[in-house]
Amino acid sequence: MKYQSTAKERISLSLTVYHGGFCMVKEVRRIGVQEEIDEICFTDIARGIEAGSVLAKGFNMLEQRSSQDLLNKSNLLEKYIGQEVAIRKHDTGEERKIRLLSIGDGLIGELQDTKEVVIDPKGELVVPPLPESFFDGPALVWKTAPGKMEDHIKVSYLAEGIEWQMNYIAEIKGTELQLMGWLEIRNDAGIDFIGAALKLMAGKVYRQPRTGDFSPELGVHESSVSRPSIEGYDFRDRHTYRIGQPVTLLNGQTTQIAFLEAHIDSFRTIYEVDKWSNRATIKMEFDNKKTNGLGVSLASGKVKLYSLDTDKELEFIGEDAIGSVTEGEAVSIRIGEAFNIRCNSYEKKRWMQEGVEYITYCYDLANGKEENVRIHIHHSMDEPIWTMESSSHDYEIRNAGNIMFIVRTAAKKEVPVEFTYRVDKR
Protein backbone atom coordinates (compact mmCIF):
# COMPACT_ATOMS: atom_id res chain seq x y z
CA MET A 1 0.00 0.00 0.00
CA LYS A 2 0.94 3.66 -0.35
CA TYR A 3 1.32 5.60 2.87
CA GLN A 4 1.42 9.39 3.23
CA SER A 5 3.43 10.67 6.19
CA THR A 6 2.53 14.19 7.32
CA ALA A 7 3.48 16.50 10.17
CA LYS A 8 0.57 15.07 12.17
CA GLU A 9 2.60 11.88 12.72
CA ARG A 10 5.64 13.83 13.93
CA ILE A 11 7.04 12.63 17.26
CA SER A 12 10.02 15.00 17.44
CA LEU A 13 11.62 17.76 15.38
CA SER A 14 15.20 19.03 15.68
CA LEU A 15 16.85 21.81 13.74
CA THR A 16 20.50 22.84 13.41
CA VAL A 17 20.99 26.18 11.64
CA TYR A 18 24.33 27.07 10.06
CA HIS A 19 25.87 30.26 8.76
CA GLY A 20 25.40 30.34 5.00
CA GLY A 21 21.61 30.14 4.73
CA PHE A 22 20.95 26.45 5.33
CA CYS A 23 19.95 24.05 8.09
CA MET A 24 19.76 20.36 8.96
CA VAL A 25 16.27 19.09 9.75
CA LYS A 26 15.86 15.94 11.85
CA GLU A 27 12.43 14.35 12.30
CA VAL A 28 10.98 11.26 13.93
CA ARG A 29 7.51 10.27 12.71
CA ARG A 30 5.29 7.36 13.66
CA ILE A 31 3.88 4.94 11.08
CA GLY A 32 0.18 4.70 11.79
CA VAL A 33 -0.73 1.49 9.91
CA GLN A 34 0.04 -2.21 10.30
CA GLU A 35 -0.32 -3.16 6.64
CA GLU A 36 2.69 -3.78 4.44
CA ILE A 37 3.85 -0.55 2.82
CA ASP A 38 5.56 -0.40 -0.55
CA GLU A 39 5.63 3.40 -0.98
CA ILE A 40 5.97 6.26 1.49
CA CYS A 41 5.08 9.84 0.56
CA PHE A 42 6.89 12.06 3.07
CA THR A 43 5.26 15.51 2.99
CA ASP A 44 5.36 18.73 5.07
CA ILE A 45 9.05 19.29 4.39
CA ALA A 46 11.10 22.41 3.65
CA ARG A 47 10.83 23.91 0.18
CA GLY A 48 14.61 24.15 -0.24
CA ILE A 49 15.32 20.51 0.61
CA GLU A 50 18.46 19.00 -0.91
CA ALA A 51 17.29 15.58 -2.04
CA GLY A 52 20.84 14.26 -2.15
CA SER A 53 21.28 14.89 1.59
CA VAL A 54 18.42 12.69 2.86
CA LEU A 55 19.15 10.10 5.55
CA ALA A 56 16.21 7.79 6.36
CA LYS A 57 16.13 4.99 8.94
CA GLY A 58 13.42 2.52 9.96
CA PHE A 59 12.76 0.93 6.55
CA ASN A 60 14.61 -0.43 3.52
CA MET A 61 14.61 2.18 0.78
CA LEU A 62 14.84 0.95 -2.81
CA GLU A 63 14.25 4.20 -4.66
CA GLN A 64 13.77 7.88 -3.88
CA ARG A 65 12.33 10.70 -5.89
CA SER A 66 11.64 14.25 -4.82
CA SER A 67 8.81 16.52 -5.86
CA GLN A 68 9.02 20.30 -5.67
CA ASP A 69 5.47 20.83 -6.95
CA LEU A 70 3.78 23.80 -5.30
CA LEU A 71 0.05 24.28 -5.69
CA ASN A 72 -0.51 27.28 -7.94
CA LYS A 73 -2.58 27.93 -11.03
CA SER A 74 0.20 27.47 -13.53
CA ASN A 75 1.66 24.13 -12.47
CA LEU A 76 -1.78 22.76 -11.63
CA LEU A 77 -3.12 23.42 -15.15
CA GLU A 78 0.04 21.99 -16.71
CA LYS A 79 -1.02 18.60 -15.32
CA TYR A 80 -4.20 18.75 -17.42
CA ILE A 81 -2.81 19.80 -20.80
CA GLY A 82 -4.20 17.33 -23.37
CA GLN A 83 -6.96 16.22 -20.99
CA GLU A 84 -10.67 16.98 -20.85
CA VAL A 85 -11.77 19.82 -18.56
CA ALA A 86 -15.02 21.74 -18.25
CA ILE A 87 -16.03 25.40 -18.64
CA ARG A 88 -18.94 26.25 -16.33
CA LYS A 89 -21.01 29.36 -17.00
CA HIS A 90 -21.46 31.59 -13.96
CA ASP A 91 -25.10 32.47 -14.59
CA THR A 92 -26.63 29.14 -15.62
CA GLY A 93 -24.16 26.56 -14.27
CA GLU A 94 -24.10 24.93 -17.71
CA GLU A 95 -20.86 23.07 -18.46
CA ARG A 96 -19.14 22.56 -21.80
CA LYS A 97 -16.29 20.09 -22.27
CA ILE A 98 -13.01 21.15 -23.87
CA ARG A 99 -9.63 19.53 -24.35
CA LEU A 100 -7.01 21.77 -22.79
CA LEU A 101 -4.34 22.65 -25.37
CA SER A 102 -2.26 25.44 -23.85
CA ILE A 103 -2.02 27.72 -20.82
CA GLY A 104 1.08 29.71 -21.80
CA ASP A 105 -0.43 32.96 -23.11
CA GLY A 106 -3.99 32.68 -21.95
CA LEU A 107 -6.10 29.52 -22.00
CA ILE A 108 -6.60 27.65 -25.31
CA GLY A 109 -8.91 24.66 -25.66
CA GLU A 110 -10.64 22.49 -28.24
CA LEU A 111 -14.41 21.99 -27.99
CA GLN A 112 -15.14 18.29 -27.70
CA ASP A 113 -18.33 18.38 -29.80
CA THR A 114 -17.36 20.68 -32.67
CA LYS A 115 -13.54 20.47 -32.49
CA GLU A 116 -13.45 24.27 -32.71
CA VAL A 117 -10.60 26.01 -30.91
CA VAL A 118 -11.56 28.56 -28.26
CA ILE A 119 -9.28 31.13 -26.68
CA ASP A 120 -9.85 32.34 -23.13
CA PRO A 121 -13.40 30.91 -22.88
CA LYS A 122 -15.69 32.74 -20.46
CA GLY A 123 -16.69 30.91 -17.30
CA GLU A 124 -15.29 28.88 -14.45
CA LEU A 125 -12.69 26.23 -15.28
CA VAL A 126 -13.42 22.86 -13.62
CA VAL A 127 -10.73 20.19 -13.63
CA PRO A 128 -10.77 16.51 -12.55
CA PRO A 129 -9.44 15.48 -9.12
CA LEU A 130 -5.74 16.03 -8.47
CA PRO A 131 -3.45 13.25 -9.68
CA GLU A 132 -2.05 11.00 -6.95
CA SER A 133 1.46 12.07 -7.90
CA PHE A 134 0.66 15.73 -7.26
CA PHE A 135 1.33 17.23 -3.83
CA ASP A 136 0.44 20.67 -2.57
CA GLY A 137 4.05 21.19 -1.49
CA PRO A 138 7.51 19.59 -1.59
CA ALA A 139 7.57 15.85 -0.90
CA LEU A 140 9.86 12.83 -0.85
CA VAL A 141 8.55 9.58 -2.31
CA TRP A 142 10.27 6.31 -1.35
CA LYS A 143 9.80 2.86 -2.82
CA THR A 144 10.37 0.38 -0.01
CA ALA A 145 11.43 -3.26 0.07
CA PRO A 146 8.92 -5.85 1.29
CA GLY A 147 9.28 -6.76 4.92
CA LYS A 148 8.61 -5.56 8.42
CA MET A 149 8.74 -1.81 8.96
CA GLU A 150 9.42 -0.17 12.29
CA ASP A 151 6.61 1.74 13.98
CA HIS A 152 8.52 4.99 13.50
CA ILE A 153 10.98 6.37 10.97
CA LYS A 154 13.88 8.81 11.40
CA VAL A 155 14.54 11.25 8.57
CA SER A 156 17.11 14.03 8.30
CA TYR A 157 17.99 16.34 5.43
CA LEU A 158 19.66 19.63 4.54
CA ALA A 159 17.55 22.55 3.36
CA GLU A 160 18.18 26.10 2.23
CA GLY A 161 16.23 29.19 3.17
CA ILE A 162 17.02 29.64 6.84
CA GLU A 163 19.79 31.79 8.35
CA TRP A 164 20.96 33.01 11.72
CA GLN A 165 23.15 35.82 12.95
CA MET A 166 24.22 37.36 16.23
CA ASN A 167 23.33 40.93 17.14
CA TYR A 168 24.93 42.72 20.09
CA ILE A 169 23.87 45.92 21.83
CA ALA A 170 26.42 47.67 24.04
CA GLU A 171 25.62 50.60 26.33
CA ILE A 172 28.36 52.64 27.96
CA LYS A 173 27.55 53.39 31.62
CA GLY A 174 30.36 55.50 33.04
CA THR A 175 33.41 53.25 33.30
CA GLU A 176 31.36 50.08 32.76
CA LEU A 177 29.69 48.51 29.76
CA GLN A 178 26.38 46.65 29.55
CA LEU A 179 26.38 44.09 26.74
CA MET A 180 23.32 42.26 25.43
CA GLY A 181 23.36 39.57 22.75
CA TRP A 182 20.46 38.42 20.58
CA LEU A 183 20.31 35.37 18.35
CA GLU A 184 18.31 36.20 15.23
CA ILE A 185 16.91 33.44 13.00
CA ARG A 186 15.16 34.17 9.70
CA ASN A 187 12.97 31.42 8.26
CA ASP A 188 12.32 31.48 4.51
CA ALA A 189 12.33 27.69 4.15
CA GLY A 190 8.68 27.55 3.06
CA ILE A 191 7.51 25.67 6.15
CA ASP A 192 6.74 26.36 9.81
CA PHE A 193 9.01 24.61 12.31
CA ILE A 194 6.73 24.12 15.31
CA GLY A 195 8.24 23.28 18.71
CA ALA A 196 11.67 22.40 17.32
CA ALA A 197 14.74 21.57 19.40
CA LEU A 198 17.09 24.23 18.07
CA LYS A 199 20.88 24.42 17.71
CA LEU A 200 22.85 27.22 16.07
CA MET A 201 26.34 26.41 14.81
CA ALA A 202 28.92 29.19 14.56
CA GLY A 203 31.82 29.08 12.14
CA LYS A 204 32.17 28.39 8.44
CA VAL A 205 31.21 25.01 7.00
CA TYR A 206 32.64 24.35 3.54
CA ARG A 207 30.08 23.40 0.92
CA GLN A 208 30.08 22.85 -2.82
CA PRO A 209 28.00 25.24 -4.99
CA ARG A 210 24.51 23.97 -5.70
CA THR A 211 23.44 23.48 -9.31
CA GLY A 212 19.71 23.73 -8.63
CA ASP A 213 17.67 26.84 -9.12
CA PHE A 214 16.19 27.10 -5.62
CA SER A 215 15.79 30.67 -4.53
CA PRO A 216 13.77 31.40 -1.38
CA GLU A 217 10.90 33.80 -1.74
CA LEU A 218 11.68 36.78 0.45
CA GLY A 219 8.83 38.84 1.84
CA VAL A 220 7.92 41.19 4.63
CA HIS A 221 9.14 39.67 7.87
CA GLU A 222 7.39 39.76 11.18
CA SER A 223 9.45 39.36 14.33
CA SER A 224 9.03 37.54 17.61
CA VAL A 225 11.21 37.58 20.72
CA SER A 226 11.84 34.88 23.34
CA ARG A 227 14.23 34.36 26.25
CA PRO A 228 15.01 30.65 26.84
CA SER A 229 18.17 29.30 28.46
CA ILE A 230 21.09 28.75 26.09
CA GLU A 231 24.05 26.39 26.44
CA GLY A 232 27.24 26.98 24.47
CA TYR A 233 29.71 24.18 23.76
CA ASP A 234 32.45 23.23 21.30
CA PHE A 235 31.77 20.58 18.65
CA ARG A 236 34.14 19.55 15.86
CA ASP A 237 36.21 22.76 15.96
CA ARG A 238 33.09 24.93 15.97
CA HIS A 239 31.04 26.57 18.70
CA THR A 240 27.42 25.50 19.00
CA TYR A 241 24.53 27.08 20.88
CA ARG A 242 21.81 24.74 22.17
CA ILE A 243 18.50 26.45 22.96
CA GLY A 244 17.12 25.16 26.22
CA GLN A 245 13.46 24.85 25.21
CA PRO A 246 11.46 24.13 22.03
CA VAL A 247 11.35 27.03 19.57
CA THR A 248 8.77 27.82 16.90
CA LEU A 249 10.09 29.36 13.69
CA LEU A 250 7.25 30.44 11.43
CA ASN A 251 7.85 30.75 7.72
CA GLY A 252 8.39 34.36 6.67
CA GLN A 253 9.22 35.47 10.21
CA THR A 254 12.34 36.56 12.05
CA THR A 255 12.71 35.23 15.59
CA GLN A 256 15.00 36.84 18.15
CA ILE A 257 16.23 34.92 21.17
CA ALA A 258 17.95 36.64 24.09
CA PHE A 259 21.38 35.06 24.41
CA LEU A 260 23.51 37.22 26.67
CA GLU A 261 23.32 39.95 29.29
CA ALA A 262 26.61 40.95 30.89
CA HIS A 263 27.95 43.86 32.91
CA ILE A 264 31.53 44.38 31.82
CA ASP A 265 33.63 45.97 34.55
CA SER A 266 36.12 47.84 32.38
CA PHE A 267 36.78 48.82 28.79
CA ARG A 268 39.28 51.06 27.05
CA THR A 269 38.99 53.63 24.29
CA ILE A 270 41.78 53.56 21.72
CA TYR A 271 42.61 56.09 19.03
CA GLU A 272 44.44 54.69 16.01
CA VAL A 273 46.17 56.32 13.05
CA ASP A 274 48.28 55.15 10.12
CA LYS A 275 50.11 56.85 7.25
CA TRP A 276 46.80 57.42 5.39
CA SER A 277 44.89 58.94 8.33
CA ASN A 278 43.76 62.53 8.67
CA ARG A 279 41.77 61.86 11.83
CA ALA A 280 42.06 59.09 14.39
CA THR A 281 39.86 56.00 14.24
CA ILE A 282 38.02 55.38 17.52
CA LYS A 283 37.99 51.84 18.88
CA MET A 284 36.53 50.46 22.05
CA GLU A 285 38.10 47.32 23.49
CA PHE A 286 37.33 45.04 26.41
CA ASP A 287 38.68 41.70 27.59
CA ASN A 288 36.46 38.63 27.23
CA LYS A 289 37.28 37.26 30.68
CA LYS A 290 35.24 36.07 33.64
CA THR A 291 37.16 38.50 35.82
CA ASN A 292 35.80 41.29 33.62
CA GLY A 293 32.18 40.12 33.84
CA LEU A 294 32.09 38.10 30.61
CA GLY A 295 34.19 35.01 29.73
CA VAL A 296 32.00 33.29 27.10
CA SER A 297 32.52 32.45 23.43
CA LEU A 298 31.00 35.15 21.23
CA ALA A 299 29.89 34.36 17.67
CA SER A 300 30.59 36.81 14.89
CA GLY A 301 27.94 39.49 14.50
CA LYS A 302 27.09 43.17 14.47
CA VAL A 303 27.56 45.41 17.52
CA LYS A 304 25.59 48.62 18.02
CA LEU A 305 26.98 51.00 20.64
CA TYR A 306 25.05 53.57 22.70
CA SER A 307 26.04 56.13 25.32
CA LEU A 308 24.40 58.82 27.46
CA ASP A 309 24.85 62.39 26.27
CA THR A 310 25.43 65.31 28.66
CA ASP A 311 21.63 65.77 28.86
CA LYS A 312 21.27 62.12 30.01
CA GLU A 313 19.68 61.12 26.70
CA LEU A 314 20.80 57.81 25.18
CA GLU A 315 22.47 58.27 21.78
CA PHE A 316 23.71 55.90 19.09
CA ILE A 317 27.48 56.35 18.61
CA GLY A 318 28.60 53.60 16.23
CA GLU A 319 28.27 50.12 14.77
CA ASP A 320 30.79 47.48 13.75
CA ALA A 321 31.02 43.81 12.80
CA ILE A 322 33.16 41.56 14.98
CA GLY A 323 34.57 38.14 14.24
CA SER A 324 34.25 35.16 16.56
CA VAL A 325 35.88 35.83 19.94
CA THR A 326 36.82 33.03 22.32
CA GLU A 327 37.18 33.36 26.08
CA GLY A 328 40.34 35.24 27.03
CA GLU A 329 40.58 37.26 23.81
CA ALA A 330 39.93 40.98 23.45
CA VAL A 331 36.84 42.33 21.72
CA SER A 332 37.57 45.33 19.50
CA ILE A 333 34.76 47.54 18.19
CA ARG A 334 35.47 50.25 15.63
CA ILE A 335 33.17 53.21 16.33
CA GLY A 336 34.12 55.89 13.82
CA GLU A 337 36.49 58.85 13.43
CA ALA A 338 37.44 61.27 16.20
CA PHE A 339 36.42 64.82 15.35
CA ASN A 340 39.17 66.46 17.42
CA ILE A 341 42.17 64.14 17.10
CA ARG A 342 44.11 64.89 13.93
CA CYS A 343 47.09 63.29 12.24
CA ASN A 344 49.47 64.48 9.56
CA SER A 345 52.08 62.00 8.34
CA TYR A 346 54.79 62.44 5.74
CA GLU A 347 58.19 61.25 4.62
CA LYS A 348 60.60 63.93 5.80
CA LYS A 349 63.82 62.80 4.16
CA ARG A 350 65.33 59.99 2.09
CA TRP A 351 69.02 59.64 1.13
CA MET A 352 71.64 57.09 0.04
CA GLN A 353 75.00 56.57 1.72
CA GLU A 354 77.47 53.85 0.68
CA GLY A 355 74.74 51.57 -0.72
CA VAL A 356 72.44 52.05 2.28
CA GLU A 357 69.17 53.99 1.99
CA TYR A 358 67.98 56.06 4.95
CA ILE A 359 64.35 57.13 5.40
CA THR A 360 63.01 59.57 7.98
CA TYR A 361 59.25 59.52 8.58
CA CYS A 362 57.11 61.85 10.71
CA TYR A 363 53.68 61.84 12.37
CA ASP A 364 52.31 65.10 13.74
CA LEU A 365 49.55 64.30 16.25
CA ALA A 366 47.13 66.91 17.61
CA ASN A 367 44.78 66.23 20.53
CA GLY A 368 41.95 68.78 20.61
CA LYS A 369 40.10 67.04 23.45
CA GLU A 370 39.82 68.31 27.02
CA GLU A 371 41.44 65.13 28.30
CA ASN A 372 44.67 63.19 27.82
CA VAL A 373 44.56 60.35 25.28
CA ARG A 374 46.73 57.51 24.02
CA ILE A 375 47.14 57.34 20.27
CA HIS A 376 48.31 54.16 18.57
CA ILE A 377 50.32 54.69 15.39
CA HIS A 378 50.30 51.68 13.06
CA HIS A 379 53.03 52.24 10.50
CA SER A 380 53.63 49.86 7.62
CA MET A 381 57.11 49.69 6.11
CA ASP A 382 57.39 49.70 2.34
CA GLU A 383 60.58 47.61 2.52
CA PRO A 384 60.54 44.01 3.80
CA ILE A 385 63.99 44.17 5.46
CA TRP A 386 64.95 47.23 7.48
CA THR A 387 66.78 48.37 10.62
CA MET A 388 65.69 51.18 12.93
CA GLU A 389 68.36 53.87 13.32
CA SER A 390 66.61 56.26 15.70
CA SER A 391 63.16 57.05 17.07
CA SER A 392 61.64 59.78 19.21
CA HIS A 393 59.30 57.27 20.90
CA ASP A 394 59.35 53.64 21.90
CA TYR A 395 57.80 51.24 19.42
CA GLU A 396 56.80 47.62 19.08
CA ILE A 397 57.52 45.43 16.06
CA ARG A 398 54.19 43.72 15.22
CA ASN A 399 55.57 41.78 12.26
CA ALA A 400 58.26 42.18 9.59
CA GLY A 401 56.51 45.06 7.86
CA ASN A 402 54.62 46.78 10.67
CA ILE A 403 55.51 48.71 13.81
CA MET A 404 53.31 50.36 16.44
CA PHE A 405 53.90 53.44 18.62
CA ILE A 406 51.77 54.20 21.67
CA VAL A 407 51.90 57.96 22.13
CA ARG A 408 50.49 59.65 25.23
CA THR A 409 49.15 63.01 24.16
CA ALA A 410 48.08 65.66 26.67
CA ALA A 411 44.83 67.63 26.32
CA LYS A 412 44.99 70.44 23.75
CA LYS A 413 48.57 69.51 22.84
CA GLU A 414 50.46 68.46 19.72
CA VAL A 415 53.12 65.74 19.69
CA PRO A 416 55.57 65.08 16.85
CA VAL A 417 56.78 61.50 16.28
CA GLU A 418 59.86 61.01 14.13
CA PHE A 419 61.88 57.93 13.31
CA THR A 420 64.65 56.99 10.87
CA TYR A 421 65.32 53.54 9.50
CA ARG A 422 67.76 52.17 6.97
CA VAL A 423 67.52 49.65 4.16
CA ASP A 424 70.65 47.92 2.87
CA LYS A 425 70.57 48.11 -0.96
CA ARG A 426 73.99 46.48 -1.47
Q: How far apart are CA 63 and CA 46, in angstroms?
A: 20
Q: How far apart are CA 180 and CA 87, in angstroms?
A: 61
CATH T-level assignment (fold) for domain 1-68+138-162+183-260: Immunoglobulin-like (2.60.40)
Given this model, what pLDDT does residue 4 score? 84
Collapsing DSSP states into helix, strand and coil, what is residue 225?
Answer: strand
Given this model, what pLDDT does residue 223 score? 47
CATH T-level assignment (fold) for domain 341-424: Immunoglobulin-like (2.60.40)
Q: How far apart are CA 381 and CA 359, in angstroms?
A: 10
Given this model, what pLDDT does residue 123 score? 84
CATH topology agreement for domains 1-68+138-162+183-260 and 341-424? yes
CB–CB of 64/53 below 8 Å?
A: no
Distance of CA 95 to the CA centre of its chain: 53
Taking residues 46-68, report their average pLDDT.
85
Given this model, what pLDDT does residue 399 score? 86
CB–CB of 390/419 below 8 Å?
A: yes
205, pLDDT greater than 70: yes
352 to 40, 176, 355, 361, 387: CA distances (angstroms): 83, 52, 6, 15, 15
225, pLDDT greater than 70: no
If you compute the radius of gyration of the chain from its CA atoms, what whole number of angstroms results?
Answer: 33
Given this model, what pLDDT does residue 71 score? 58
Start-to-end C-alpha separation, the chain: 87
At 175, the pLDDT band (50, 70, 90 cuts) reads confident
Angle at Cα 217 formed by Cα 212 and Cα 222, nearest 5°? Answer: 145
Q: For residue 144, how many other CB atoms are within 10 A of its CB?
A: 18
**pLDDT tens for residues 107-165?**
888 888 888 888 888 888 887 776 555 556 788 888 888 777 788 999 999 999 999 99
Collapsing DSSP states into helix, strand and coil, what is residue 85?
Answer: strand
Using alpha carbons, select from 30, 81, 25, 76 the residue that is nearest to residue 54.
Answer: 25
Q: How far apart are CA 330 and CA 264, in angstroms?
A: 12
- 3-state SS string for 24-71: EEEEEEECCCCCCCCEEEECCCCCEECHHHCEEECCCEEEEEEECCCC
Domain boundaries, the chain: 1-68+138-162+183-260, 73-126, 268-337, 341-424
301-308 and 152-160 strand pairing? unpaired
Least confident of 9-23, 91-105, 248-262, 294-308: 91-105
Given this model, what pLDDT does residue 133 score? 54
Q: How far apart are CA 284 and CA 125, in angstroms?
A: 66
CB–CB of 28/213 below 8 Å?
A: no
Using alpha carbons, select from 322, 324, 317, 320 the residue that is nearest to residue 334.
Answer: 320
